[in-house]
Amino acid sequence: MAGQLWYLSEQLVTLALFDNDLDNNTKDKMVLAMKEREGEKKPHKRATVDIKLIKEKSLVDFTTKKSKIFFNNLHLPQDFLEYPADQWKHQPSFSAPKSFVSTLAVTNDHAERAIALVEHFSGHLTKDEQQLQFVLSVVAEHRKKCPDARKQTLLGNNE
C-alpha cells in the first residue's frame, strides 16, 4: 500500500534546510543529494511512498537536483549551500532565503481536509448555494465559540 505525502515534493523538501530543529548532518546530506541525485523526469506533485517503508525514509531520500528549483524559482541566493550547514548562519547569502522562508504562511492540513470535505459533501447537504453558505457561516461561528474540543471550553470555564 502506498501513501501520498501531500506536503512533500522534490522542491518543497528544500524548506527543511531552514528548520532549526533539523540536524546539520541531515542538511549536509540533503545538499549533497541536490548535487548528485537525479530527480524523476515527470515528478509527482506529491511524493508516493510505500507505507511499509516510511520509517526507513528520511528527507534526504526526497531531495534531488530538482530541489534547487526552489531557489531558482524564487530568485533566492544559494551560495551558502557550498559551505557545511553549521556555517550557514555566518554566510551573507543565507539571510535572505532564511528570512523569506520564515515569512511563509503554513497551510493547515486540517483546513485542506475541511475544504475537501465541504467539496465532497456540498451537493449532499443542499443544492442551494445560499443554504450552503449559511451552513458554512454557522460552522465558522461555532469554531469561534469553541476553538478546541476541551470540556472546559464547551462548559465555558476559562480557568
DSSP string, 116-145: HHHHHHHHHH-S-HHHHHHHHHHHHHHHHH
CA dist 136 and 126 (Å) reads 12
Tell me the pairing of strands 2-5 and 47-50. antiparallel
**CB-CB neighbours of 145 under 10 Å:** 9
Q: What is the mean pLDDT of the chain?
A: 78
Q: What is the pLDDT of residue 150?
A: 66
Give the tens place of pLDDT for each residue, 45-80.
Answer: 555 666 666 677 788 888 889 889 889 988 999 999
- Which band of pLDDT confidence, cut at 50, 70 and 90, is reported for residue 125? low
Q: What is the pLDDT of residue 10?
A: 78
Least confident of 39-43, 85-89, 155-159: 155-159
- Which band of pLDDT confidence, cut at 50, 70 and 90, is reported for residue 1? very low
- Which band of pLDDT confidence, cut at 50, 70 and 90, is reported for residue 159? very low
| 14: pLDDT strictly greater than 70 | yes
CA dist 119 and 117 (Å) reads 5
Q: Are 64 and 31 in contact (CB under 8 A)?
A: no
Please count the CA atoms within 13 angstroms of the CA of 107 that sit on its side-chain side: 10
Q: Are 10 and 43 in contact (CB under 8 A)?
A: yes
- Tell how far CA 89 is from the center of its chain: 23
- Give the residue among 1, 5, 32 at the shortest CA–CA distance from 17: 32
